[in-house]
């Protein structure tokens, strides 16, 4: 996150920015003053509010979505010898969470239009070691949930939805997390709502939700005599009450935040006509929560690299990001034998993607400024 700084008199526009209002600041201060600052009543209240938002399903919160994904995998019994299929272009933490359980991430290509995990490639990658599918709802655009759950049902596989970017997204009118198997949300400051750092799992049943609890707190279960036992190899992933209090306040504004994101994206679609043209993301339907907006740069029609474009934007007071690099081409995952050419769509998107500023407090005039600046950078660099 960049601090706001003046640029030719204009404010700096970071590519993501949380919305923190004064009532949120006072609510957090009240929790601090209460002196119950780690996991306690606010965590229970936040889990209850998240559960209500997701049709009454059981919810457990964590210190991050990365922790939540790891706990979801462990709770589903995934470990050494198992394989979990995931997209080649998403955030690194998905592959890391799978690997940290001892299982192996198996990458598949993404759909060139939606940038979501390609379900035909997924089906082709399933083998007797496959235990789960872990797709990301890319940028907040839901994966085809009918096709995903048909495939999971036919193959008897668990689904852990990486919905880090998709709290509030809807598939055919139903919220992501309110149906399906396990969904994992992130509350990092770049996400649709924030708890500073944090994450949540939404489960299909109470028994499994209860079973995940030891994994987030040292593996501890309580004995009837008041002593404690350690029953599994747990982590230290419990969300503090201070963060949960912020989460409660944020959740109350989530639908408003999403509607603002949708309005700003409509403006991007209207204004972002560059020469040479960028490839704009799939618009999806009204269920897209637009956690980020990332066109693909026309790199072979301009003399600048992506870094050159990012530097030129930065010089004009506009932040940008890369969401994301191809995971299979990182040093860690090349060790599994992956290389360039394995997943052409993921690799092409990873090379050309550029995340532009998008957050609820961005103004329409800011979007116009971003589009005009990018138009002028690309036009001056045209081959
Ligand atoms: C697609 C995706 N999945 C998972 C995560 C992990 O979220 P967290 O930072 O809460 O661990 C992120 C975080 O950026 C993400 O972008």
The arithmetic mean of pLDDT across residues 358-377, rounded, is 98
Residue having the nearest C-alpha atom to atom 4 of ligand 1: 164
Over residues 145-157, the pLDDT tens digits come to 999 999 999 999 9
Is 65 close to ligand 1, i.e. is its CB under 6 Å away?
A: yes
Q: Is 97 in the pocket of ligand 1 (CB under 6 A)?
A: no
Within the chain, all domains assigned CATH 3.40.640.10 are found at 22-251
Q: Indicate if the pLDDT at residue 283 is higher than 90.
A: no
Tokens 């005009």 correspond to 372
Task: Identify the pLDDT of residue 284.
Answer: 72
Examine the pLDDT at 6 and tell me if it is beyond 60: no
**How much distance in Å is there from the Cα of 199 to the middle of ligand 1?**
9
Q: Is 236 a catalytic residue?
A: no
**C-alpha to C-alpha distance for 82 and 300, rounded to whole angstroms:** 40
Confidence at residue 286, expressed as pLDDT on a 0 to 100 scale: 84
Architecture of the domain whose range is 254-320+355-380: Alpha-Beta Complex (3.90)
**pLDDT > 70 in the chain, percent:** 98
- Give the contacts of 101 (CB within 8 A, at least 6 positions apart): 70, 73, 74, 78, 79, 80, 82
* Ligand 1 close to Cβ of residue 199 (< 6 A): yes
Model pTM above 0.95: yes
pLDDT mean over 317-332 = 98
**How far away, in angstroms, is 98 Cα from ligand 1 center?**
14
Of 268, 361, 370, 365, residue with least CA distance to 312: 370
Instruction: Output the pLDDT for position 7.
Output: 57
Residue 204 has pLDDT above 50, yes or no: yes
- Express each pLDDT in 9-68 by its tens digit: 899 999 999 999 999 999 999 999 999 999 999 999 999 999 999 999 999 999 999 999
Asked if the 22-251 domain carries CATH number 1.20.1090.10, the reply is no
User: CATH 3.90.1150.10 residue ranges in the chain?
Assistant: 254-320+355-380
pLDDT tens per residue across span 75-133 = 999 999 999 999 999 999 999 999 999 999 999 999 999 999 999 999 999 999 999 99
Pocket probe for ligand 1: among 65, 169, 201, the residue whose CB has the most ligand atoms within 8 Å is 65
- Tell me the Ramachandran region of residue 332: left when phi exceeds 0, alpha when psi lies from -120 to 50, beta otherwise: alpha
What pLDDT, on the 0 to 100 scale, is given for residue 5? 52
Secondary structure (3-state) at 341? coil
Cβ of 291 closer than 6 Å to ligand 1, yes or no, is no
Distance (Å) from CA 165 to ligand 1 centroid: 8
- Would you say residue 275 has pLDDT above 80? yes
């Amino acid at each position: 996150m960049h601090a706001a700084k003046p640029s030719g008199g204009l404010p700096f526009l970071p590519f993501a920015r949380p919305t923190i209002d004064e009532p949120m600041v006072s609510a957090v201060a009240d929790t601090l003053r209460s002196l119950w600052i780690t996991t306690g009543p606010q965590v229970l209240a936040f889990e209850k509010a998240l559960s209500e938002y997701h049709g009454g399903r059981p919810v457990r919160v964590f210190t991050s979505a990365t922790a939540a994904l790891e706990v979801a995998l462990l709770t589903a019994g995934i470990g050494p010898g198992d394989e979990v299929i995931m997209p080649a272009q998403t955030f690194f933490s998905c592959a890391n969470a799978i690997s940290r359980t001892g299982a192996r991430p198996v990458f598949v290509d993404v759909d060139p239009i939606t940038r979501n995990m390609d379900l035909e490639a997924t089906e082709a990658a399933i083998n007797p070691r496959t235990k789960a599918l872990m797709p990301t709802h890319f940028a907040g655009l839901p994966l085809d949930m009918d096709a995903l759950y048909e495939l999971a049902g036919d193959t008897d596989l668990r689904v852990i939805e990486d919905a880090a970017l998709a709290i509030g997204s809807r598939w055919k009118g139903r919220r992501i997390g309110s149906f399906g198997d396990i969904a994992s949300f992130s509350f990092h400051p770049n996400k649709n709502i924030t708890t500073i750092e944090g994450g949540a799992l939404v489960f299909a049943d109470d028994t499994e939700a209860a079973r995940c609890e030891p994994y987030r707190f040292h593996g501890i279960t309580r004995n009837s005599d008041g002593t404690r036992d350690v029953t599994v190899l747990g982590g230290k992933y419990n969300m503090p009450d201070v963060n949960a209090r912020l989460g409660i306040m944020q959740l109350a504004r989530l639908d408003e935040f999403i509607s603002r994101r949708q309005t700003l994206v409509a403006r991007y679609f209207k204004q972002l006509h560059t020469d040479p043209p960028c490839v704009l993301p799939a618009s999806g339907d009204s269920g897209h929560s637009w956690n980020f907006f990332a066109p693909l740069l026309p790199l072979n029609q301009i003399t600048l690299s992506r870094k050159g474009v990012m530097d030129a934007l930065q010089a004009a007071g506009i932040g940008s990001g890369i969401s994301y690099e191809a995971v299979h081409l990182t040093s860690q995952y090349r060790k599994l034998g992956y290389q360039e050419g394995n997943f052409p769509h993921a690799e092409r998107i990873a090379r050309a993607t550029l995340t532009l500023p998008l957050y609820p407090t961005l103004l329409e005039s800011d979007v116009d400024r971003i589009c005009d600046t990018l138009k002028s950078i690309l036009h001056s660099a045209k081959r």
